[in-house]
Structure 1
């Protein structure tokens, strides 16, 4: 025993404790130094990737885990910075195109609110050098359900567009108008409005989201749902609208929370898992039933869903879709087809309730075109330009899809305007991310006078949306459901304004300006909308 103790004592004499601690500290310092050098080199390469264009230098990219979770502050952009800094960001750097380079997490990125740059990135000519990024925030979310028209590129996108495109014709838009009119009547009856002169709605979104999902379900999928019996998941445990809402609102959980945390017994995680499972089961059931129906009848309907399902049976491999592609497109149609329209309708109602003179002006046009004796018909759409203008101006103020992500798939060059001096050629290496800031475009005084002002008259004499209007994207990748959404919106708003005057529900002592600041304030997630809109609908005959 004494020999063993002596041996240990000899070791401590040879390697004293202090020396061991010093060695460990030295190793840690060396590792830290290597890490700092590596990070500095990485940061330098990131600056080179954006050609040292001035811009934000931040710890985390807004679309990275920590960058998305931490709120927008002076040192962290967060997910809301494009909205919160819209008035000052580009002006501060003196250019409509800036860079964002994180110190620690995320890729170097170019942000632009300049149409000349946008044309190069997503236009029919220059856009060929940029693809939609599957690694983007929205790309990761929607790809969980399967490849779809929203994220597809090149020949895959052309296949999806070729299959779905024929469904979106004037015949469909007439059906959309008729179903919107019918659903409006169902809403009035089922909500018990027929016997009421004043209806108080704590959050108008409760109506618009239900309406929009019913219309896309009926017209895009041929589902036989009604206001009294909306769509439910396969086992009936959850409304499809609720499952979609949970899926959209929980994108941070889906993307940034590790799987081993998601399995913990927390209510939120259970809710997200259940919504995902129920929604997937609903879509799979609908696909299986539609396949069986098409096989039994020997033909498919003209709705987009039937065309998707029929494509899975196509013997020509070039235009065949597998089940994951069908599910992916079903999800994007259900989600985008109701989420964006519902949010924009809610905000439009809020603006019209706020501005009495504007509401009256639009009401008078409805009376001159439609009158009180009949319902509006699809042929009235083109004459109701002021109703459409109110909706388009809301889309400008609060663009639901508020950014587009593109990635250079080869080394290329962007010509970035530099004011009166012309343009600077900016080398863009392969893999560089470029984000089209739709909020920045819609609030750019270069394209819109007094961009903060809600002014539908901008669109009164405009036959088609100008290039600066990017709420539905632009160019060859413009939203396939563009006319679907505007048709639904014009019909619903026409009926609502024809029957009711809208008034804001304000708190005690609150002014209209305070109501506007509280209610018509941006609410950002996967899409951009506003806070809950409380309004009263007052029957016209009693005004």
Structure 2
């Protein structure tokens, strides 16, 4: 044992010396750009536990808003780690630098290896890049049509009226322990109709019929399927059941596609849901090489279905899958549902903004009529509330890219000067959406809910809730329309407030705000618990 200790000490010293030489080399390479040093990287142990300065970056690293940029005095800094290997992660909260990245897909592609686990049903628009992505995008984009936008609007009204008439009824006051219980089903029902042509009501038993796939099993266990190799899916009873559920899901999707293809114009009225749009695009005038194969069609449908699944699985907290492009609207239901949760929480905390929205609604609809699709652009303040909510709670706080070559990025420093930041080939890049949205250079008083900041001229390059450039979210308009209708329908009938609870009787406004707006960064930014009460106007 005594002879072993010197050997261990020697190895440790050699490791430290090696890392010191690497650090020195890195600092010269990046021209001594400000760094946030930690021992472990974000992709390893550092992303699974709470933050420990200089040791672990922490699982909420991308949700630290602008505080790290402020502390380091720069809107670009390098999160550098020593283990398991020396790594550089450029963190960007400068709009010029971000615009350069999203506008240069060849120099700054997405790290496609993060997305390869979702290829088990087939290639898709999420897990593709370059020419393959262009092909998927060309075929999938036409599915998001103007008739589909109108369908989203009408189905949202239908779902909300069903809630008002058949669930809430004539009650003057409705208390909700967590508003997610309302808005996650709402967005699920809307996308079920607008994407797959199946209407679900609030009184339906939303369970699969005999012989159909166990959707609950798939929704709870899909991340195990993504992470584990095929042989491991037979190790436990639960994993075996999950494997069977995925096999059934594949058969169900194949049958769904076959049934829709077999329908003729004489069988049913024209459908404008996304599934029909995708099938039309696949069977249109494209050449043989441009059309999707059956496996690719399954792959794209699956990533759309994946967006519908409820969150809650512990694995969900750590799996590094962030969608920066539309993936057939990937994450529409989750991100829209969560955005609505935050929007109504903010309206409850800031009643003056809620009343301003109500004044807009009664001005546009003095007779109490239902909003029509043509009214969408007239609801200016509702749009502003949505944008301000997305600024404060971007669905994905960090969007991953990497540098395919030695290059530079433009940045405005603290003195207002334009400078160039060197970026070595192979460096990871995170577009820090949260850091950008809370950057006080572009958003004064960024922690305060101020929808009016979106009514005049505002810094569009500093707003990135749906990513940007050619890989911006295909489902953006889908999400915006659903959100605007929901805000209008609820606020026209109800005044929303924070639910009174005895255990929080003495808290200040700031304490209440911190509690109600608490979040968990998962696949999308998720509210912990938002207890609200709705009182009929």
Question: Do both proteins adopt the same fold according to a TM-score greater than 0.5, normalized to the shorter chain?
Answer: yes
Report the secondary structure of 1:109's partner residue. strand
1:289 is matched with which residue: 256, 265, 281?
256
2:75 is matched with which residue: 87, 96, 115?
96
* 1:79 maps onto 2:59 in alignment: yes
Report the secondary structure of 2:112's partner residue. coil
The Cα shift of 1:151 comes to 3.9
Report the secondary structure of 1:128's partner residue. coil
**Change beyond 3 A, Cα 1:247–1:397:** farther
Aligned residue number for residue 312 of structure 2: none
* 1:278 maps onto 2:245 in alignment: yes
* 1:204 maps onto 2:195 in alignment: no
Greater relative contact order structure (CA < 8 Å, 6+ sep): 2
Q: Distance in 2 between matches of 1:242 and 1:255?
A: 14
**Change beyond 3 A, Cα 1:43–1:255:** farther
Q: Distance in 2 between matches of 1:229 and 1:452?
A: 41
Q: Distance in 2 between matches of 1:282 and 1:226?
A: 23
The Cα shift of 1:146 comes to 4.5
Name stretches of at least 5 consecutive residues in structure 2 with no aligned partner: 308-330
1:481 is matched with which residue: 471, 475, 479?
475
The Cα shift of 1:283 comes to 5.4
* 1:329 maps onto 2:300 in alignment: yes
Aligned residue number for residue 171 of structure 1: 147
Aligned residue number for residue 112 of structure 2: 134
8 A Cα contact 2:116 2:127, kept in partner: no
For residues 244-280 of structure 1, the C-alpha deviation after alignment (integer angstroms, 9 at most, x for no partner) is 4x358xx5x67778999987769xxx3x875676366
The Cα shift of 1:346 comes to 0.6
2:100 is matched with which residue: 107, 120, 135?
120
The Cα shift of 1:228 comes to 2.7
Aligned residue number for residue 158 of structure 1: 134
Q: Distance in 1 between matches of 2:212 and 2:258?
A: 24
* 1:539 maps onto 2:536 in alignment: yes
Q: Distance in 1 between matches of 2:233 and 2:408?
A: 43
Alignment of 1:30-429 (within 5 A): 32=12, 35-36=15-16, 38-40=18-20, 42-44=22-24, 46-47=26-27, 50-64=30-44, 66-74=45-53, 75-84=55-64, 86-105=65-84, 107-123=87-103, 126-136=104-114, 139=115, 142-143=118-119, 146-191=122-167, 193-229=168-204, 232-233=207-208, 240=215, 243-244=218-219, 246=220, 270=238, 278=245, 281-282=248-249, 284-295=251-262, 297=264, 302-309=272-279, 316-334=287-305, 335=307, 336-420=331-415, 422-429=417-424
Q: Distance in 2 between matches of 1:481 and 1:110?
A: 28
* 1:518 maps onto 2:518 in alignment: no
The Cα shift of 1:220 comes to 1.8
The Cα shift of 1:434 comes to 0.9
* Structure 1 vs Structure 2 CA RMSD: 3.3
Deviates more, 1:70-79 or 1:175-184: 70-79
Report the secondary structure of 1:444's partner residue. coil
Aligned residue number for residue 506 of structure 1: 500
TM-score, structure 2 as length reference: 0.84
For residues 418-454 of structure 1, the C-alpha deviation after alignment (integer angstroms, 9 at most, x for no partner) is 3437344344333221110000000001111111110
**Change beyond 3 A, Cα 1:31–1:142:** same
8 A Cα contact 1:231 1:240, kept in partner: no
Deviates more, 1:289-298 or 1:399-408: 289-298
The Cα shift of 1:143 comes to 4.8
Name stretches of at least 5 consecutive residues in structure 1 with no aligned partner: 1-17
Q: Distance in 1 between matches of 2:36 and 2:234?
A: 37
Q: Distance in 2 between matches of 1:393 and 1:487?
A: 15
Q: Distance in 2 between matches of 1:488 and 1:99?
A: 38
8 A Cα contact 1:399 1:471, kept in partner: yes
8 A Cα contact 1:410 1:430, kept in partner: yes
Deviates more, 1:202-211 or 1:216-225: 216-225
8 A Cα contact 1:291 1:309, kept in partner: no
The Cα shift of 1:218 comes to 1.0
Residue-pair matches, total: 504
Report the secondary structure of 1:102's partner residue. strand
For residues 35-88 of structure 1, the C-alpha deviation after alignment (integer angstroms, 9 at most, x for no partner) is 455545555555556444221110122222x1121112323211212323x342
Deviates more, 1:209-218 or 1:433-442: 209-218
Structure possessing the higher radius of gyration over alpha carbons: 1
8 A Cα contact 2:99 2:461, kept in partner: no
TM-score, structure 1 as length reference: 0.83
The Cα shift of 1:337 comes to 1.6
